[in-house]
Structure 1
Amino acid sequence: MSRKLYYFELNGLAESIRYMLHYSGLTFEDIRYDAKSWPIKEVKDSLPYGVLPVYEEGGRRLNQSIAIARYIASQTNLLPSDPWEQAVLDAAVLNINDFRLKVRAFIMETDKVKKEQMKAELLTETVDFYLSRIENELKANNGFFGGKLTWADFYFIGIIETTNVFIGIEIEKTYPTIVSLFNIIRSLPGVKEYIAARKPYVDNTIQ
């Protein structure tokens, strides 16, 4: 079956999906656009809602990164069958996404003074608010969000890796259970080889 993932030359919202696809051994075309050249009118106009990522499988298209990640999980044994366990993971991912939206506001800010203020708030308040709670959640569940490896773990690592690119430090380094999860994900078969072969990601925001 033909699979395509459309996104930018960036980890961002697509890296967790890439990780899951590589880990599961699913062949796909990793189509990437230069964010500095975006929008590309003919591409943007062809997308369901004009934004990336978009996943294509067998001629069908799906947008929204969380929906894509959850679908891939359902096809690759990374989504539990129990509805309550699914809901717990959905909640974890939405909590992580709340954190992502705060980081996104910092990334998109163009006023340099305000951006520095936002960065300081992220590092002194926001990061610990979320990561301390996630650290405790992982500790209580065998080092994973759902007691074993699931799509929520991949989603989390992708978001934190992206945050690190744009903030310029490894925000997870003082949270040992989170660090352990990083090491597990990055050492998985398929993921390890992909990371070794990819180019380093850089902050490509235009100031």
Structure 2
Amino acid sequence: MRNPRVEQYSTTDTRRAEGFADAVFAITITLLVLELRPPEVPPGQLLAGLLHQWPSYLAYVTSYLYIAVIWLNHKHAFLRIRSMNRGLHWANLGILFTTALLPFATGVLSKAVREGDPADEPTAVALYSLVGTFLCGTWVVFFRYLGHHPALLDEGVPAEFFIQETTRAWLGVILYAAAGAFGYLVAPVIALVLFLAVPTFYAITSHGLYELGIVLRRRR
């Protein structure tokens, strides 16, 4: 027989998970700013020093955009979630774990590009790509889990929604892996372009591919 007391505590609402996630995103974005430091240059060379740090600015913008997009996607996903169980909590923590790695990967990448070392740049690009691939992979787990546990979703959420969301997450895995491969084997600049393109794609589709398809069909 089922134990109603156990069932009562097997799921919780989403408020604490959302609050904790917002705190992690806020702290992670704050850590990105710490990589922007005044250049150590002699008097009269401040402008040149600031311009020399352009890789740090590019890395900051890219990672800030990425974290902002993660927050938007996270928010829109939780609009469709009614309750959390242990498995979904762990899937959510996986997303936050990899998001928190972005300041480290960003710092390594900006330092390598700023110093222009041809031996270190491909390694830094590969590291950033690995974090991005891992992060998209945690979204695959998150969406697949939701797809297999419809009882956690709000009423009216179609089954196709999280099927397409899983596809969108897999696309990120492929693109980040490709960026790392091209950046390591061919030219780091290719990876930098893709690192900007992937968050842009996720920003455009933050409501989900399912709803984006509905909007596009209505405009025909």
Task: Give the TM-score of the pair, scaled to structure 1.
Answer: 0.33
Higher strand share: 1
Task: Tell me which structure has the larger Cα radius of gyration.
Answer: 2
Higher helix share: 2
Task: Give the TM-score of the pair, scaled to structure 2.
Answer: 0.32
Kindly indicate whether structure 1 or structure 2 has the higher relative contact order, using CA contacts under 8 Å at least 6 residues apart.
Answer: 1
